[in-house]
Structures are given as C-alpha cells and as structure tokens.
Amino acid sequence: MKRLFLDSSGLFAAAYSRTGHARDLILMAVRGEIILVVSQLVLEETRRNLAESAPERLAILDYLTAGIPFEFVKPAKREVIAAARHAVLKDAPIVAAARKARVDYLVTLDKKHLLGKPELAAYVRAPIVTPQEAFERLAKPD
C-alpha cells in the first residue's frame, strides 16, 4: 500500500474545499486504499492556518482528522537540523518527517519551497508532488 506524507497545505486544502484532489486523498485513506502520514506539527500548523483564514472550516478539519487513520512520525532534532541543510528552515521539520517516514510521495501545494526541487526530492527519497499529481499517479495501474 502506498504511503504519502501530507503537509499542512494539502490538509488545509482538504478541509477548506469539499472537492479537489487533496480531499480525494483523504477519502482514499478513509477507505484504506493509501496510508497518510503526518506529524503533529502538520496538524498544529493546519489548525492555526485555518483559524486565521477560515475559522468556519475548523469543524471540518476535526471531522476529517477524526476519521483518518493517520500514521504519525516525529523526527528527532538532529534529523530536522540535517534537513535544514536541504530545505528552508520553516520546512525542515516537514522534510525531516517525510524522509524519516520513508513515504512513496511527499504531497504539498508549496510551490515556492518544496515543489520542483529535484535535489530536495532526492534527499527525501520520494517524489514531491501536488495532491493532483499524487492522485493521478495512484490511479494508474502499476
């Protein structure tokens, strides 16, 4: 079964909109088709960002996270420091968590710092893709 690390931008998108590929990935996880991996930081950051920009969607986030059998990963401080050599400091905990979790994909909407960075994908040891790209790759038969 494929394992995907979902960062806060992807989880935010799933809570914010009823449609879209971020929500599709959530539904796939609920159906047991994929494993979604997150860190506690992802949940906290998503909650904080929703509270600031769309507080009415916090209940949806709670509903989604209650039904998703997330796998949690917690990178060690040394792993975050190592990741900071490859990513901007604010994203180092995400990069470290994805690398530690040995996922098949790191799913994000962060075009500025994560997407389109082949050297970062090499460090994570997984493609860094949008929710749409992840969904399309998962839909293809092996």
- The pLDDT tens digits of the residues spanning 41-94 come to 999 999 999 999 999 999 999 999 998 999 999 999 999 999 999 999 999 999
pLDDT interval class at 140 (50, 70, 90): confident
The pLDDT value recorded for residue 86 is 96
Give per-residue pLDDT as tens, 82-131.
999 999 999 999 999 999 999 999 999 999 999 999 999 999 999 999 99
Mean pLDDT of 10-30: 95
Q: Strand, coil or helix: what is 38?
A: strand
Give the number of C-alpha atoms closer than 13 A to the C-alpha of residue 46, restricted to the C-beta side.
Answer: 28
- pTM, entire model: 0.95
What tokens does 116 get?
């389109």
Helices (H), the chain: 8-16, 21-30, 40-53, 58-67, 77-83, 92-101, 118-124, 131-139
**Ranges of each domain in the chain:** 3-139
CATH of 3-139, one of 3.40.50.450, 3.40.50.1010, 3.90.1150.10, 3.40.50.510: 3.40.50.1010
